[in-house]
């Protein structure tokens, strides 16, 4: 295959984060929401450096001549390309931030420095600093007797080049002073007294008063810095069998805090010699040191949003997940699912029916067991409450808690303890495989009959993200799916994976190969002159085996339509290769998270909802589950959602042959798929016999 057909994974991800940054620049987006997007851009980039750049950095140390399988770039070439792209994007970020803060001044929000203060305000801040902040600081001076301090991941520090006050001009000896600025003991956004709407960031206050911190020295130069550390640890590879797996994961979390720095950012000019010293102290690549103009951590914008919350015009219109007309929440839910398949679509519809179903199962005398896979949970999880209640009621409760869910490990460790103490049987995943599936199986015994209620989702069992992420939740009493779900849980309990399936697609052995087979079937239809079709709704596409098969389908004349929010390593529109493929990305108010696979058209159409993206990590390195949608009404509903997203001309961008994305434009009236789906949810709830319920609190 020609290299031009492929896009490098890391550069494709940066294109996605560029689309997030575009939302901060989009005048159609309310002002305070634009602040959210610029902060999301930054936190996305932080995680990218912690995980992806950290991984490439490690790879370069081990096998620097290795080449990735799509564009044949070496680790060094990837890091160089990342550096150049990040520099470009950060310039845009700094400009966008400056523009947004300029607009904030129109709303009487002013983020200022000392140059804009009068004498009285300056005196107040000096007193505030000396009384409220200085006693809580822990400054360091790097010297022979005091080595370079450990700087925490993403911690903002003030750095000063210090000269002794008695140094002669021609023979100045300097040292480096460092002051951590965000210890959590003082607020970051400080209001200026007597100046309503005027604020200063705590780190800027500390930076200004560094002479008071290092009063025995002259400050030659100073800056704020932030260090990002590698967070990519192979938990299974480093497993110590002397520890329980939960204890091992706790040790992994401690190790992560100390891993190698992969990036340093700074805000003011520093002498090259000082930058070299910092590079050497931190053992960081000089090309991964970036100067930025915007604050190093933009999370304070959410405090600004809280100040302006009374101005509704600065925010998206308030929306609340609605009840689904397919379920009557005044009646028991399990019998309704036994009558026919039900589908919830978050955040447009409430997660409450699913939570109620779990609670109902916990108290149903006919329920003998509940089995569930948990990946990411809310801080105050009602899912866990229901499982604990079920165990206390004598049900057999088997829960696989994935402790390797990145950045949620600590949360999951605590939930696993609570579940175990309640009498649940807790499993911690499989060796070398993350369990990422969203699967729940309720087993009932009614007389001599065994009934399965199976739930398969595209997103986590998290009440908070169910209001922010678009996901699908299928609840079914189909015996075929229930029986295979039971086999999945049986295999997990034995530390094994399924080798074959008939209905579900289950990674790592029965997903990628079956998807390839279904694509091949469409290729044969196209070659025979029939109407062949592939439709995929994904977060990311990186699996080269599947990508190559999609390219083959395009070459055979199969129409391929894809809605891919994030990484897409397959370039579309290349003559003779991918010119039958269209790919759009929707980045908007809600995070597109559902996965849908569609093969064929008409009566022969096959449709699946899934927890798996088309990434090798999902298709062959994780336990994932995709479920067929057999109910014709639910298939139509999902198909209509997919078509609406393909027709979006407000928040959708279409991929170009060179890998870039441009906003979709056409003559039709504006189509914002996410807002239309919410409007439909409201209308459906209002048309139902029972009054709609605004899901303000779960």
Residues annotated as catalytic are: 436
Cβ–Cβ under 8 Å, residues 360 and 334: yes
The tokens for 6 are 């492929």
Cβ–Cβ under 8 Å, residues 501 and 389: no
Pick the closest to residue 48 from 412, 406, 496, 447 (CA basis): 406
Please report, to the nearest 10 degrees, the dihedral formed by the alpha carbons of residues 618, 646, 29, 316 taken in order: -80
Mark residue 250 as left, alpha or beta (left: phi above 0; alpha: psi -120 to 50; beta: remaining): alpha
| 3-state helix/strand/coil string of 76-103 | HHHHHHHHHHHHHHHHHHHHHHHHHHHH
The tokens for 393 are 């009621």
* Rounded alpha-carbon distances, angstroms, from residue 105 to 111, 199, 292: 8, 11, 22
The tokens for 34 are 């634009």
Whole-angstrom Cα distance, residue 403 to residue 411? 9
Residue 81: count other Cβ atoms within 10 Å of its Cβ. 16
Q: Where are the beta strands (DSSP E) in 480-632?
A: 505-507, 533-538, 559-564, 581-586, 591-592, 595-599, 606-610, 622-628
In this structure, is the dihedral angle defined by the CA atoms of residues 208, 140, 298 and 189, taken in order, positive or negative?
negative
* Residue 349, beta-bridge partner list: 322
Whole-angstrom Cα distance, residue 53 to residue 41? 16
Whole-angstrom Cα distance, residue 240 to residue 233? 14
Please provide residue 138's backbone torsions phi and psi, each rounded to the nearest 5 degrees: -125, 80
| Run of H or E including 453 | strand 449-457
- Quick one: angle between helices 54-62 and 75-106, nearest 10? 160
Question: What residues have CB less than 8 Å from 357, skipping those under 6 apart?
Answer: 333, 334, 337, 442, 453, 455, 475
Whole-angstrom Cα distance, residue 396 to residue 439? 16
Question: In the block, which residue shows the tokens 């949360």?
Answer: 411
Whole-angstrom Cα distance, residue 126 to residue 143? 29
């Amino acid at each position: 295959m020609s290299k031009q057909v492929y896009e490098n994974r890391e550069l494709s991800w940066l294109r996605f984060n560029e689309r997030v940054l575009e939302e901060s620049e989009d005048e159609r987006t309310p002002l305070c929401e634009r602040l959210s997007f610029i902060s999301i851009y930054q936190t996305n980039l932080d995680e990218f450096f912690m995980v992806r750049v950290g991984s490439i950095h490690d790879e370069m140390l081990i096998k620097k001549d290795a080449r990735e399988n799509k564009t044949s770039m070496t680790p060094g070439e990837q890091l160089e390309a990342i550096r150049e792209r990040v520099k470009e994007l950060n310039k845009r970020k700094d400009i966008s931030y400056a523009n947004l803060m300029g607009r904030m001044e129109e709303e009487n929000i002013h983020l200022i420095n000392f140059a804009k203060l009068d004498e009285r305000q300056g005196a107040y801040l000096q007193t505030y600093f000396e009384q409220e902040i200085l006693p809580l600081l822990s400054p360091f001076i790097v010297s022979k007797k005091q080595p370079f301090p450990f700087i925490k991941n993403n911690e903002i520090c003030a750095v000063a080049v210090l000269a002794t006050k008695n140094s002669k001009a021609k023979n100045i000896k300097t040292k480096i002073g460092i002051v951590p600025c965000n210890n959590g003991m003082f607020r970051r956004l400080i209001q200026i007294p007597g100046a309503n709407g005027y604020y200063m960031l705590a780190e800027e206050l500390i930076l200004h008063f560094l002479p008071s911190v290092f009063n025995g020295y002259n400050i030659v130069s100073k800056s704020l810095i932030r260090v990002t550390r590698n967070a990519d640890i192979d938990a299974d590879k480093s497993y110590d069998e002397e520890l329980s797996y939960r204890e091992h994961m706790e040790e992994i979390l401690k190790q992560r805090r100390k891993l190698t720095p992969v990036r340093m950012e700074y805000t003011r000019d520093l002498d090259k010699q000082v930058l070299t010293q910092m590079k050497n102290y931190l053992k960081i690549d000089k090309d991964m040191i970036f100067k930025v103009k915007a604050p190093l951590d933009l999370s304070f914008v959410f405090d600004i949003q809280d100040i302006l919350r009374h101005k509704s015009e600065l925010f998206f219109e308030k929306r609340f997940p609605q009840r689904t007309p397919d379920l009557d929440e005044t009646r028991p839910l399990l019998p309704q699912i036994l009558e026919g398949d039900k589908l919830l679509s978050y955040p447009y519809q409430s997660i409450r029916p699913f939570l109620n179903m779990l609670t109902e199962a916990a108290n149903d005398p006919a329920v003998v067991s509940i089995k569930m896979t948990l990946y990411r949970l809310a801080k105050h999880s009602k899912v866990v409450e229901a499982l604990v209640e079920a165990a206390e009621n004598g049900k057999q409760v088997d829960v696989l808690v994935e402790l390797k869910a990145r950045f949620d490990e600590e949360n999951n460790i605590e939930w696993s303890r609570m579940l175990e103490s309640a009498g649940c049987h807790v499993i911690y995943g499989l060796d070398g495989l993350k369990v990422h599936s969203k699967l729940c199986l309720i087993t009932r015994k009614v007389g001599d009959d065994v009934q399965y209620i199976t739930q398969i989702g595209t997103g986590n069992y998290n009440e908070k993200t169910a209001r922010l992420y678009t996901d699908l939740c299928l609840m079914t009493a189909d015996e075929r799916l229930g029986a295979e779900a039971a086999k999945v849980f049986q295999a997990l309990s034995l530390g094994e994976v399924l080798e074959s399936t008939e209905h579900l697609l289950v990674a790592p052995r029965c997903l990628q190969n079956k998807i390839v087979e279904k694509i091949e079937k469409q290729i044969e239809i196209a070659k025979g002159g029939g109407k062949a079709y592939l439709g995929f709704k994904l977060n990311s596409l990186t699996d080269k085996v599947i990508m190559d098969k999609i390219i083959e389908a395009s070459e055979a004349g199969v129409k391929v339509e894809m809605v891919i929010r994030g990484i897409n390593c397959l370039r579309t529109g290349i003559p003779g290769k991918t010119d039958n493929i269209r790919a759009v990305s929707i980045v908007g108010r809600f995070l597109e998270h559902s996965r849908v696979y569609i093969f064929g058209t008409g009566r022969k159409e096959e449709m699946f909802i899934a927890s798996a993206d088309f990434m090798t990590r999902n298709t062959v390195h994780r336990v994932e589950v995709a479920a067929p949608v057999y109910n014709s009404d639910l298939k139509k509903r999902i198909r209509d959602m997919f078509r609406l997203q393909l027709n979006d001309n407000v928040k959708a961008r279409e991929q170009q042959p060179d890998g870039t994305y441009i906003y979709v434009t056409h003559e039709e009236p504006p189509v914002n798929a996410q807002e239309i789906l919410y409007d439909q949810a409201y209308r459906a709830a209002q048309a139902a016999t029972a009054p709609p319920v605004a899901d303000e609190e779960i």
